[in-house]
């Protein structure tokens, strides 16, 4: 069920500028029609590891695979490709603040953002999608995701 091979295809080349519907927003934007709405789940999957890697000091330093993360903003866009372009499907719904996920790989630099392939709990995205690309933060350095703190 991994979408990794398809997601990594065509990552190089000039990309169009970001549009406002690709960034976190207070209201969702129109997107491709999908199947019936599913309930969001922002709880941690039962397989969460006992320890979490620390957030890198350099925001563009690669996060290790299997790092558990959380969204810091409401309405974060998940995409099928690590870039803003017509061939990168905008997944629904937009992710709410506090959504947890696991880093699979990344970062990949494209469209002015650092992208991570992530694994989300079933039911977070529509149509059974569990793997997607998330931008690490805004172009000005404002983070949109971070490691889950260890208590």
The answer to whether residue 130 is domain-embedded is yes
Q: Which residues pair with 109 in a beta bridge?
A: 114
Find all residues with CB under 8 Å of 113, minimum gap 6, and list them.
18, 84, 135, 136, 137, 139
The verdict on residue 18 lying in a domain is no
Look up the domain containing 126 and give its range.
Answer: 67-151
Helix, coil or strand: residue 117: strand
What tokens does 57 get? 């000091």
- Per-residue confidence (pLDDT) for residue 143, from 0 to 100: 97
Token readout for 82 is 């690590």
Total domains in the chain come to 1
Q: Is 8 inside a domain boundary?
A: no
What's residue 67's pLDDT? 81
Residue 32 has pLDDT above 80, yes or no: no
Q: For residue 140, what is the domain's CATH number?
A: 2.30.30
Phi first, then psi, for residue 141 (nearest 5°) are 100, -5
- The token duo for 84 is 């803003």
Residue 82 in this model has a pLDDT that exceeds 90: yes
Pick the more confident residue, 109 or 37: 109
Report residue 54 as tokens: 């620390």
**Distance (Å, whole) CA 117 – CA 129:** 13
Instruction: For residue 62, name the pLDDT band (cuts at 50, 70, 90).
Output: low
Q: Which residue has the higher pLDDT, 71 or 2?
A: 71
Q: Tokens 């309405």 correspond to what residue?
A: 75
pLDDT band at 93 (very low <50, low <70, confident <90, very high): very high
Kindly report whether the global pTM for this prediction surpasses the value 0.85: no
pLDDT value, residue 150: 56
Whether the predicted pLDDT of 137 surpasses 80: yes
From 80-84, 94-98, 147-151, the region with the lowest mean pLDDT: 147-151
Average pLDDT score, the chain: 71
CA distance from start to end of the chain? 32
Residue 87 lies in a domain: yes
4-21 residue pLDDT tens: 333 333 333 334 444 445
pLDDT band of 113, cuts 50, 70, 90: very high
């Amino acid at each position: 069920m991994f979408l990794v091979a398809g997601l990594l295809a065509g990552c190089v080349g000039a990309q169009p500028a970001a549009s406002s519907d690709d960034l976190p927003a207070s209201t969702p934007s129109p997107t491709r029609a999908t199947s019936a709405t599913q309930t969001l789940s922002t709880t941690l999957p039962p397989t969460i590891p006992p320890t979490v890697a620390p957030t890198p000091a350099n925001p563009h330093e690669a996060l290790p695979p299997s790092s558990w993360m959380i969204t810091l903003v409401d309405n974060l866009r998940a995409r099928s490709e690590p870039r803003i372009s017509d061939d990168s499907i905008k997944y629904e719904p937009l992710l709410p603040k506090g959504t947890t996920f696991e880093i699979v790989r990344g970062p990949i630099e494209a469209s002015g953002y650092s992208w991570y392939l992530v694994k989300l709990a079933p039911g977070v995205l529509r149509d059974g999608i569990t793997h997607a690309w998330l931008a690490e933060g805004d172009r000005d350095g404002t983070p949109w995701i971070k490691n889950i703190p260890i208590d």
